[in-house]
Each structure stands twice: as C-alpha cells, then as structure tokens.
Amino acid sequence: MQPADVSDNGEPVPVAKNGHLELETPIGVSVRHVHLCQEHVEILFGKGHDLSVYNELYQKGYYAAREQVMVVGRKRCIEKVRVLGPTRPYSQVELSQTDALVIGMKLPIATNGADPACQPITIVGPVGAVTLPGNGGGGAFIARRHIHMSDVMADKLGVEAGDLLDLHIDGPRPTTLHDILVRVKAGWFTEVHLDTDEGNAVGVRSGQTGTIIVPKK
C-alpha cells in the first residue's frame, strides 16, 4: 500500500484534519540485527574485510550486508543475525523482547548502543569474536520505536528531533501506538520503524502504512 498523498519525490504530504496534521507513512518492521564498527568487522571476518551489500534498505546509502553473525546471550545464542551497513563508530546489537527472553537477557529499550543501560553481549563471526561492554560503549538493547524524516519534513510538520508522536494503524488489529520518537537527518525518507514484536502485535508488515498524528502546538 502506498501513501494516498505523496509529493513528486515520493514523500508523503501532511494533511490538516480537525486541528492537527496527519501523515500517511511507510512502516518498516526491523528484524534482529547488528551494526558494526570497522575494527569489529575485521575481527569477526578477517583483516581488511569490508561489508558487502546483500540488498538496499529504504534509506539511501543503508543496506543489509551479506555478512551474518551469532550473538551469544546468558542462556542461549541466536545464529545468522544479519549485519547492517555501512559501518558505524561503535557496534551494537538490536533485538526484540522475544529475542531477549530466548537468550536469557533483560534488555533496556534504548535509542542506540551508546545508552549506558545497554547490556554486554558477545558477537561471533567466522574468524573471531568480540564482546561489547555495554554501559555506553556499545551493547545490546531493544530499539525504541521511532520515525525517520528529513529536516524538510520536520519543518513541514513543525516537529524536531526528540519529539514524540502517535501512530494509528488500521487493519485486522487497529490500534494507536504512542511515543514514536522523531529522528531527523537531512536526506532521510520518512519511515516509521517498529520491531517484530510490535509489528506482530498489531498485524503489520514492512511496506504497509500507518498514520502519524501531529498535534497542533
């Protein structure tokens, strides 16, 4: 399903309704994955190794890599966890609450691996292994639901990074999710990110749309 109101560049167009703005927005449901710094790429896959593209993601310049790793929790491990590229300044592991229960870990809901509440976790590749220290130095967490948008879209909506919005989803399990964190970067396309637990709970898959509600300020 494509947004009903889109601009020439494919971006959704805000619609004024009953004193607020509505934005029909694509939804991406994120499966467990890992982001790596270049140092850890080389430890896990070999010196001089670079990530290779498996398929492009919705945001320009971002991709799912061919490389996969195993993440090791306190009780169990999960194999074939996809690495996403490009590389980042620090490594992090993003899991769902269900994943956390499977591997025997209690994980925080966080924005990124620099959050001091993130937990230590070990990543194993075909050549080596690394243990992320947690406590703000890269670690494991459950990603907070959020919406990516450009600075242009943020201006149109009258919002800024860090604001919290609501997302209404129609379908067999219609619901409204609160506290969608706004994240802003020039050049980003507008897209909501949920994890698999959230997507399954409301019966939504990647590529479907929901309606972002922007209250009047």
- Residues 148-176 have pLDDT tens digits of 999 999 999 999 999 999 999 998 899 99
Cis peptide preceding 120, ω within 30 of 0: no
Taking 80 as the threshold, does the pLDDT of residue 190 lie above it? Answer: yes
Among 117, 109, 84, 95, CA closest to 180: 109
Question: What pTM, to 2 d.p., does this model score?
Answer: 0.91
Q: What are the tens digits of pLDDT across the range 35-52? A: 999 999 999 999 999 999
- What is the pLDDT of the chain when averaged over all its residues? 94
Residue 99, helix vs strand vs coil? helix
Q: What are the tens digits of pLDDT across the range 91-125? A: 999 999 999 999 999 999 999 999 999 999 999 99
> How far apart, in Å, are the Cα atoms of 29 and each of 76, 85, 207, 209?
24, 17, 8, 11
Q: Per the structure block, which two tokens stand in for 19?
A: 């004193």
Asked if residues 185 and 140 have their Cβ atoms less than 8 Å apart, the reply is no
Please state, in angstroms and rounded to a whole number, the distance separating the CA atoms of residues 72 and 77. Answer: 4
Class of domain 15-29+144-214: mainly beta
CATH 2.40.40.20 positions along the chain are 15-29+144-214
